[in-house]
Amino acid sequence: MVGKLFGPRYLGTLFGLTLFSHQVGGFFGAWLGGIALERSGSYDWMWYADMALATVAALAHVPVREKAVATAPAAA
């Protein structure tokens, strides 16, 4: 999707930023999960936050409409 939006020129950089942001989110998820466990004694609040964030992410992707890629017919 990143390549479709921005083209191949900066694909490596943009893909790297995408993966970096994913790793930062993974770090904060694990760290905040530990804090939630220490403060409340259970993972319940982390599950609630996870459900809320997943819902927000799903709603953010609702307006995305990918167009089909046109392919050339195969030469015989």
Q: Is residue 68 assigned to a domain?
A: no
Q: Which pLDDT does position 5 carry in this prediction?
A: 76
Side-chain half-sphere CA neighbours of 40 within 13 A: 13
- Write the pLDDT tens digit of every residue in 14-55: 889 989 999 998 999 889 889 989 999 988 888 898 899 999
Q: Which pLDDT does position 4 carry in this prediction?
A: 76
Q: Is residue 54 assigned to a domain?
A: yes
Whether the model clears a pTM of 0.75, i.e. scores above it, the answer is no
Helix count and strand count (H, E) for the chain: 3, 0
Q: Is residue 72 assigned to a domain?
A: no
Roughly what angle, to the nearest 10 degrees, separates helices 11-40 and 44-61?
150
Q: Is residue 73 assigned to a domain?
A: no
DSSP labels, 37-54: HHHHSSSHHHHHHHHHHH
Q: Domain limits at 42?
A: 25-58
Q: Is residue 35 assigned to a domain?
A: yes
